[in-house]
């Protein structure tokens, strides 16, 4: 139950997800690598115990971070992703048949999500023609060149990480944390966002807003961000 006077703002991740989660649902999870992850919402989904999830995300997190938390509890049944190579647990579950993978070239995945959010059911792309990506997909020829038909993606829930929001749900992302978050925010039947700062309406510069509040249903103020990075490379002195 939302006890906050601002109807979009909830006091905890658990409250923001109340009444939304169910077994077998499809969840879009923003981020790229470990950057721009909705960490608090992922952890709340883990605690909820919801299972047989289909997750749409660029990658599958790493051990102990991001969607890796849901892999540890075997809550994910299928992943629609473009890169899963750095998560050994995902590799193990995939090779053992525990989890299904629908692989997408990264640009194709981004466009499928954008198309879903824009109400476009399908589109054609040359990316993947003649590869395993083309298996069981319609191919058409335009101007003597073959193209694959790819379908738009939507989700029951999109979980998003932004930097700032106002009380109406307008969002600003910070630098590379922008990544997949903006397109996913448009493609969820329900979009729940965690941010680092919530401001009053009018305090955000309209020219700086990346996602209009019309796409956002619920907001929480996140906390305890890990700021983890995948690989640290330094130059020897």
Tell me which DSSP letter residue 147 carries.
Answer: E
pLDDT at 234 over 90: no
Determine the pLDDT at residue 103.
Answer: 92
pLDDT per residue over 185-194, tens digit each? 999 999 999 9
How many other C-beta atoms can be found within 10 angstroms of the C-beta atom of residue 43?
Answer: 15
Cα–Cα distances in angstroms (integers) from residue 142 to residues 133, 137, 146, 151, 158, in the given order: 19, 16, 6, 18, 34
Signed CA dihedral, 16, 213, 196, 180: sign only: positive
pTM of the model: 0.92
Average pLDDT on 141-154 reads 98
Q: Which domains does the chain have, with CATH numbers?
A: 13-121+153-221 (3.40.1080.10)
Average pLDDT on 158-182 reads 96
Question: What is the Cα 210 distance to its own chain's centre?
Answer: 16
pLDDT per residue over 181-224, tens digit each? 999 999 999 999 999 999 999 999 999 999 999 999 999 999 98
């Amino acid at each position: 139950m939302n006890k906050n006077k601002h109807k979009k703002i909830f006091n905890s991740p658990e409250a923001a997800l109340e009444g939304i989660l169910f077994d077998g649902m499809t969840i879009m999870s923003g981020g790229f690598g470990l950057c721009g992850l909705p960490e608090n919402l992922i952890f709340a989904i883990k605690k909820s115990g919801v299972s047989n999830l289909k997750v749409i995300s660029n990658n599958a997190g790493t051990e102990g971070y991001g969607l890796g938390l849901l892999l540890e509890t075997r809550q994910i049944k299928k992943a629609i992703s473009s890169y899963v190579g750095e998560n050994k647990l995902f590799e193990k579950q995939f090779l053992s048949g525990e989890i299904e993978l629908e692989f997408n070239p990264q640009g194709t995945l981004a466009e499928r999500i954008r198309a879903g959010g824009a109400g476009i059911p399908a589109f054609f792309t040359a990316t993947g023609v003649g590869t395993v990506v083309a298996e069981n997909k319609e191919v058409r020829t335009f101007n003597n060149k073959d193209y694959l038909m790819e379908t738009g993606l939507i989700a029951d829930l999109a979980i998003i990480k932004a930097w700032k929001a106002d009380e109406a749900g307008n969002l600003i992302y910070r630098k590379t944390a922008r990544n997949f978050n903006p397109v996913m925010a448009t493609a969820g039947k329900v979009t729940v966002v965690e941010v680092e700062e919530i401001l009053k309406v009018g305090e955000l510069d309209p020219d700086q807003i990346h996602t209009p509040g019309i796409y956002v249903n619920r907001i929480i103020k996140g906390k305890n961000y890990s700021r983890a990075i995948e690989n640290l490379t330094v130059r020897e002195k």
